[in-house]
Amino acid sequence: MLHTHSLYYDHLKAEELAFLRKVADFCAREIAPHATEWEETEELPRDLFTKAGRAGLMGVMAPVSVGGQGFGKLCYALTIEELARHCGAFAMNLAAHNALCVGHPLHFASEELKKKIFPSVLNGDWMVAWALTEPNAGSDTSGVTTAATLQPDGIWELNGHKTYITMGNHSDRMIVMAVSGVDEKGRKEFSAYWINSAGATKVRKVPTAGVCPSNTSELKLEKVSGELIGVRGKGQNAALACLDIGRLGIVGMSLGLGRAAMEIAQQRMLTRKQFGKRIAQFQALQFMLADCEVELRAAEALLLQAAVMSDRGQCHTLEGSIAKLYASEVASRACNRCLQICGSWGYTRDTFVERYWRDARLCEIGEGSSEVQRFIISRTLHKEAEMTASRSRSWRRSRARGRGCRRVAGAGESAGPLRIPPRRACGRTG
C-alpha cells in the first residue's frame, strides 16, 4: 500500500487512510482473484460496480451530504492507484466515474437534477458514462458535431455520434457534450446533457490494445431526450474543469501500473537464474529498476503537488498536466523495462506484466494525450510570462509617471515592484 518513504501520510486524514485500507481489502477480495478471467472475456461484471458503489468507491470525492465519502483529490488518486495494481481497466472506469460522471453534475447541475440522480450515481445502482469524443473530435473538442435542439415542448433532443466512450454501451445514464447553438460571435456553443442511455443506439465495442475488459464504446444518438446540466453554453468549460480532476486519476492509474510491474520484476530477479547467477546480480537489470524507482517517486511528488493545490481550491491545470504527462510516460517506461527484465516470461500471459504494459499505454492518450499536455503546459507558461512582462511594463510606466506604486524594500537593496504571483489562466484544450 503506501510506502514508508511517502509524504502522502502528511496529507491524508485518518479517515482517508482507513478508507484506503478498505480499498486494498476490496481489491484483494473482489478484483485480484478475477482479473485474469476478465482480461480473457474482455468484460467487467456489472455487480463489480454495484459492490464498488456499496464500498464507497464510486463517490470518493462527493460530499457526505449527497451520499459520497467527502475525501480529497489525493485520496481519490490513491484509490485509483490501488485499483490499477489489480485491474487497469476497472481503475480507468472508476477514475472516469468519480471525476467526470460524478464531478460534472456535482459541480454544475441544478439542485433539482442532483436530487434526482444522487445517490444512485454514487451507490453503484447506476453506471454512468461521460461522452465527449466523436469520430472527428478527439484532442480538438471544438470538432464536436452532436447537436442538441430545444423542442417546442421545452425538451432537448440530441442527435450525433460518439466514440471511445468508456462503458458507454453498458451504462444506465450518460453525460453527453453537444452543440446547443452558436454564440453572438457565431462560434459553436457547447452544453452538457444528462440522458438515459437506453435511448442511445449501440454501434460496437471498440477493440483496444489494453484495458480490454473495459467496454470502450461507439454509439449513436438519434432523437434522444436530454436534460441540460448547468448553464447553457458553459458545457465546454465544465468539461475541462472536470478533466483537470480526471487527470489526477490517470496519474494514480499510471503509478499503480508502474508499481505493480516493478513488484513482479523484482520477484523475478530474485528467482530466475542465468549464467549460474540470479538475474538480480546483473547490473544492467539493477539499473533498470533503479530508473523505475526514481521516476515513479518523482511522479508521486508531482501528484502530491497537484492534488494538494486542488484540495486547497487553487487552479492546478498546469500542475495536473505536468503530473499526468510525466506519470503516464513513466508508467509506460517502467512497464516496458519490467517486461524486459522478465524476458519471454514477461511477454507471455502467464504473468501480468504484459497487461500492465498494454494498459499503461492508454494513460498517455486518454483524458488528453501527452502532446496535448505539453501544449497546455507550454501555453500556461507562455501566458504567465506575458502577464509578468505586462505587469512589469505597467509598473515601469507608473514609476515613470511618479505615481508611487507599492514596493518592497529589502535591507540594503533598492526598492522594486511587489511581486504578485500572476493569475493562472485555466482554460485549455481537453
Ligand X SMILES: Cc1cc2nc3c(=O)[nH]c(=O)nc-3n(C[C@H](O)[C@H](O)[C@H](O)COP(=O)(O)OP(=O)(O)OC[C@H]3O[C@@H](n4cnc5c(N)ncnc54)[C@H](O)[C@@H]3O)c2cc1C
Shortest distance in whole angstroms from residue 333 CB to ligand X: 17
Shorter beta-carbon distance to ligand X: residue 48 or 96: 96
Shortest distance in whole angstroms from residue 6 CB to ligand X: 29
Shortest distance in whole angstroms from residue 314 CB to ligand X: 25
Shortest distance in whole angstroms from residue 318 CB to ligand X: 17
Shortest distance in whole angstroms from residue 135 CB to ligand X: 8
- The residues pairing with 176 across neighbouring beta strands, listed in sequence order, are 131, 193
Please report, as ranges, the residues that interact with ligand X according to CB under 6 A. Answer: 96, 130-133, 138-139, 164-166, 208, 211, 216, 362, 365-369, 371-372, 375
CB 298, CB 386: distance < 8 Å: no
Shorter beta-carbon distance to ligand X: residue 38 or 164: 164
CB 77, CB 107: distance < 8 Å: no
CB 405, CB 417: distance < 8 Å: yes
In one letter, which amino acid is 354?
E
User: What distance, in Å, lies between the first and last C-alpha atoms of the chain?
Assistant: 31
Catalytic residue among 42, 111, 367, 386: 367
Residue 42 a catalytic site member: no
* d(C-alpha 156, C-alpha 173), whole Å: 16
Length of the chain: 430
Q: What is the DSSP letter of 31?
A: I
* d(C-alpha 124, C-alpha 94), whole Å: 11
List helix spans (H) across 161-272: 235-271
Closest CA to 427 of 241, 232, 207: 241
The contacts of residue 142 (CB under 8 Å, 6+ apart) are 188
Shortest distance in whole angstroms from residue 197 CB to ligand X: 13
* d(C-alpha 176, C-alpha 160), whole Å: 10
CB 226, CB 176: distance < 8 Å: yes
Which residue in the shown chain puts its C-beta closest to ligand X? Answer: 138
Residue 6, all three cell numbers? 511517502
Shortest distance in whole angstroms from residue 403 CB to ligand X: 43
Produce one character per residue of 269-287: b if its CB has 16 or more CB atoms within 10 Å, e if not.
beebeeeeeebbeeeebee
Under DSSP, is residue 223 helix (H, G, I), strand (E, B) or coil?
Answer: strand
* d(C-alpha 290, C-alpha 287), whole Å: 5
Residues annotated catalytic, as ranges = 367
